[in-house]
Amino acid sequence: MTAAAASNLKPVSLELGGKSPLIIFEDADIDEAVDIAFNGLFYNKGEICVAGSRVYVQEGIYEKVEKKLVEKANAWIIGDPFDPLVNQGPQTSKKQFEKILSYIEHGKREGAKLLTGGKHIGNKGFYIEPTIFSGVKEDMTIAKEEIFGPVMSLMKFKTMEEAIKRANDTMYGLAAGVITNNLNVANTVSRSIRAGIIWINCFTRFDLDCSYGGYKMSGFGKDFGLDGLYQYLQIKSVVTPIQDSPWH
């Protein structure tokens, strides 16, 4: 934006990351919800802009979801990404690797409970264990800032209204998800969350026809869909007088 303002006022479209919430209601299929939540973050080592890094689980199923997420994390295979049996490769750079580990230390110091992971694997390469924290509060660093790595903040909620309020308590607004079998709940939550794309009973699903872009500090402008094409167009109005028109 600064470069455009200082040069030729070229329009810009900015996708600036996120801290996306995933809300799981107690009427959801637990196994399906766990799969969606786990893959919604740990896919691509957590290095994905829309990663569901804040997972809110309704209290009635919280213990079961937590247990299954930890089990999946402990079974996750980390190593050479060219090995077809491996689930997770190294982080993209030493700088990012060190940044992720520093966020994990922030979580410990600020009082979140480390359920699993949190450590560097091996002596070579930028490998980090899939990490899950519980008891996370919205004012903790790991809940506020985009980590861009395999670190999940797991939180418990009681009511839909509470979940919506907490999900919106962020400077970001790139994406969000809701898992429920109640259509009214799905409609209410999806319309209440301030984010550019909301997934219902899925996560990280994209389509060329479905516009994608952020609210708030996640940026502005859209990719995909007609809105993505309109950014490359400019409107021109051409006015021609019509003499002796019968409609004057």
Q: Which residues are part of the catalytic machinery?
A: 15
Contact 56, 23 (CB under 8 A): yes
Token pair 């199923």 is found at 61
- In sequence order, the 6+-apart residues with CB closer than 8 A to the CB of 86 are 77, 78, 79, 80
Picking from 128, 42, 112, the residue whose alpha carbon sits closest to that of residue 79 is 128
Q: Are strands 131-134 and 113-116 parallel, antiparallel or unpaired?
A: antiparallel
Q: Phi first, then psi: what are they for 176, rounded to 5°?
A: -165, 165
How many CB atoms within 10 Å of residue 20?
A: 32
Query: Would residue 203 be called left, alpha or beta, if left means φ above 0 and alpha means ψ between -120 and 50 degrees?
Result: beta
DSSP three-state, residue 231: coil
Q: At what angle do helices 30-42 and 62-75 cross, to 10 degrees?
A: 50
